[in-house]
Structures are given as C-alpha cells and as structure tokens.
Amino acid sequence: MTDTTDDVEEQIFRLRLAGRSVRHLAKQFGRSIDEVAEICERMCQPVSPAMRRAVLALDLERIEAVQQVFYAKAMDGDAAAGALVLKCQERRSSLLGLDISAAARGASPVLVEITPPHESTHDRIRSVLEHLAQQRLSAPDFNGHDEQPESGSPAR
C-alpha cells in the first residue's frame, strides 16, 4: 500500500515536530528543502491575535497552578520550592510585560490605552470658531494695549 501525499506530508510534519532538520527530511523524502519548509509552514496553525490571547491565558493559568503547589512549601523554608515560585513570578511578569523598565512603560506597570471619543468635523469647526471668538474678545482695545485707558486720560 502506498502513502498518499497527505500521509507523506503528515509524516514530514510530525518528524519536523520531533526535531528532525529540514535538510534531513528533504533528503529522506526526496523533496527540496523549500518544499519541506512549505509543508511544515502550511500545516502549522496561523498565529492570530485571538490565538495569542488564548495561549497567554492558558500559560498564566498553568503558572498559577504550579505556584499554588509550591508556595506553601516555599514559605516553610524549602529553597527549591522558593526558587520555583520565583521562577513562576518571573515568567508571569515577562508574559504580562511587567519586566519592561519603568522609563519604557511610563510610571505605571499596567498600560491602559485610552482613546478619545471621535471628534466630528462639525465639532472641530465649532471648537475653532469658539477659539477665534475668544481671541477676538481678548484682543487689545483701541489704545493698542490690553488695558482700558484710565478715566480722565485722553485716548491716543
């Protein structure tokens, strides 16, 4: 019984997952290096923003579960457990971007993006007209100064 193309591609992919080099697989299956690389790329699930969020959430849950197991031991003085708990905390900080220097992320370790409400063209025009009206109201008076002439002083 001969292998179908799908079966051969599955074998190539599984062997690549197991650590075989692309060069070795190309030679073993009589394919070019580019063909083997294309097969592996095609068979991998694309990394989308939704997938990144799901993987991040799962990893954070796993880290939490491991930390829960070893935290009490660490608090009782078990040095190996303490090292593992610290490793969990380091990994969580790395995944959440908390390892970034304060200067790079701003003062807060939590970054929040606040987008201003969309300003319509009508709103922008109104804002400019109000600004111009304010400038006109605070324009210098007839004597060229911002002050009113003193009473009894002749206007120039």
C-alpha 125/C-alpha 123 separation (Å) is 6
pLDDT digits (tens, 9 = 90+) for 66-124: 999 999 999 999 999 999 999 999 999 989 888 876 666 565 555 556 666 677 888 88
C-alpha 11/C-alpha 25 separation (Å) is 10
pLDDT bucket at 140, cuts 50 / 70 / 90: low
pLDDT digits (tens, 9 = 90+) for 37-65: 999 999 988 888 899 999 999 999 999 99
Q: Which residues of 90-111 are buried (b: 16+ CB within 10 A; e: fewer)?
A: ebbeeeeeeeeeeeeeeeeeee
For residue 144, the model assigns a pLDDT of: 56
3-state SS class at 155: coil
- At 109, phi and psi to the nearest 5? -75, -15
- Any idea what the Cα angle at residue 111 is, between residues 105 and 115, rounded to 5°? 120
Q: Determine the residue type at 60.
A: L
